[in-house]
């Protein structure tokens, strides 16, 4: 099916339409988020366009896509970082009230990345990407992601099922 009739839409608008369609279908979506660190131990975060708050980079799977390819795709789209390695799963989060847009099941994964950050491809979705030292993280996180980050950084990393 060709999407040519929708070519007149601004770049970020098609993504927003897809999100609305998912919400209307009322089925949980599968998401993946990265606790991505560089060689200095800094944590990579993105500032969301809709809330202005910071979040772990990530997103939802495309139809026919595997988790292993979705996470590097999302990291590049949202930050422009170079993905060096994917690590362990640190948690699986399914609380329906976590994301006000839709019910998501989010898998949180450790990742190793390197800069320089080329920035987000879609500035309607993501305003900026930045590395933070672990002791200098923002106060407020989007979509309840602070607990995802804390679980992943805990000394005894184990998979959290929520």
Positions annotated as catalytic residues are 128
- Give Cα separations from 144 to 8, 27, 53, 77, 95 (angstroms): 35, 20, 11, 22, 10
Asked whether the beta carbons of 55 and 26 are under 8 A apart, the reply is: no
Asked whether the beta carbons of 51 and 124 are under 8 A apart, the reply is: no
Q: Is 146 helix (H, G, I), strand (E, B) or coil?
A: helix
- Give Cα separations from 135 to 33, 44, 115, 132, 140 (angstroms): 21, 13, 20, 8, 14
């Amino acid at each position: 099916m060709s999407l040519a009739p929708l070519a007149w839409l601004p770049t970020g608008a098609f993504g927003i339409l897809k999100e609305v369609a998912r919400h209307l279908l009322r089925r949980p979506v599968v998401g993946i988020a990265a606790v991505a660190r560089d060689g200095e131990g800094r944590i990579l975060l993105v500032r969301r366009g809709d809330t202005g708050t910071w979040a772990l980079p990530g997103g939802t799977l495309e139809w026919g896509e595997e988790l292993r390819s979705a996470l590097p795709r999302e990291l590049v789209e949202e930050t422009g970082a170079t993905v060096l390695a994917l690590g362990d799963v640190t948690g699986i989060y399914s609380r329906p009230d976590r994301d006000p847009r839709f019910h998501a099941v989010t898998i949180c994964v450790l990742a190793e990345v390197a800069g320089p950050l080329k920035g987000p491809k879609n500035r309607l979705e993501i305003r900026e990407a930045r590395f933070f030292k672990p002791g200098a993280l923002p106060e407020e996180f989007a979509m309840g992601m602070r607990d995802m980050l804390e679980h992943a950084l805990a000394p005894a990393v184990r998979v959290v099922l929520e």
